[in-house]
Chain A
């Protein structure tokens, strides 16, 4: 099946909300990272992790990167 044969009209309403909340997660992680003073490890590493490690990246940031105090 070619990509063009995929029935996008059916897929989009189903997948779009999921992609949207993923983006929210990513955006919040980035906003928090920018605003926070100190993180465990260098900030630029965390930017890369959040942006390029799908779903798990932002979670890792919130659990490990953020200082819990």
Chain B
């Protein structure tokens, strides 16, 4: 445990020194907050473009507060995932590529502690950034549109956060056996896209897929009927994260680091 804290502290310090603690939260804010702002100003933006023929009227349905918040989450499902993968694709692979992993792991360092501390560091960064970003978006929706109950916000926050964590763990998994951060990023992204596309296309058969957590999070915001599959998806995501992490440790242990 003492060793694990040492490893985690190093991760947190590194993220301070390379400014991840600043740029990742800022990017998460920008991604989410663009949605309420553009939705709010869309009519004015179109107006100011001007060149409409006289008498032309554009009817823009004003989106509801709920719709805007859901749209914020949807932004995370593209740009947010990209940021998560890009910011964590080198956490182990980069150290193996540079060779510093060899220097650290000839010390009596537990492989389990090494991998899980890295994962925990990345998870902390993810959840804090995601909370700040999503909270700011919720706040903006509140002042520009309508207040959404905080309980709805927090429920959707945790449910969708689970999917983000799943994606992060996929990246850690590829980190455990690939030496090139670029390859880790590419494969993680490919895996996530495949998961999203399959779960979306065959949604009837994939109600429990972690990729469906976005739509479940949305139903919490829209106060729609809550599917009983939510729990299946939550349990599957949590066990998926644990299994991926366990697999990462098992593979990493067998890898030759030289």
**A interface residues with partner B (beta carbon < 8 Å):** 1, 3, 6, 11, 14-15, 18, 21-22, 24-25, 28-29, 32, 55, 58-59, 62-63, 66, 68-69
Contact = CB atoms under 8 A, between A and B. Distances in A.
A25 B143 contact: no
A62 B41 CA distance: 30
B133 to A, nearest CB: 11
B181 A25 contact: no
B23 interface: yes
Contacts, number: 61
B37 A15 contact: yes
Contacts of B22: 24-25, 28
Contact of B30 (A6, A18, A62, A66): A18
Given A18-B37, A24-B22, A24-B26, A1 B48 contact: yes
A59 B95 CA distance: 21
B121 interface: no
Contacts of A55: 27, 30
A69 B98 contact: yes
B211 to A, nearest CB: 24
Given A1-B44, A6-B44, A14 B27 contact: no
B33 A62 contact: no
A69 B14 CA distance: 10
B105 to A, nearest CB: 16
A25 B29 CA distance: 11
Interface in B162-188: 181
B48 A59 contact: no
B90 interface: yes
B95 A21 contact: no
A60 to B, nearest CB: 9
Interface in B10-56: 18-20, 22-23, 26-27, 29-30, 33, 37, 40-41, 44, 47-48, 50
A66 B22 CA distance: 15
A1 B43 CA distance: 11
Contacts of A18: 29-30, 33, 37
Contacts of A14: 37, 40, 140, 143-144
B140 A21 contact: no
A31 B117 CA distance: 29
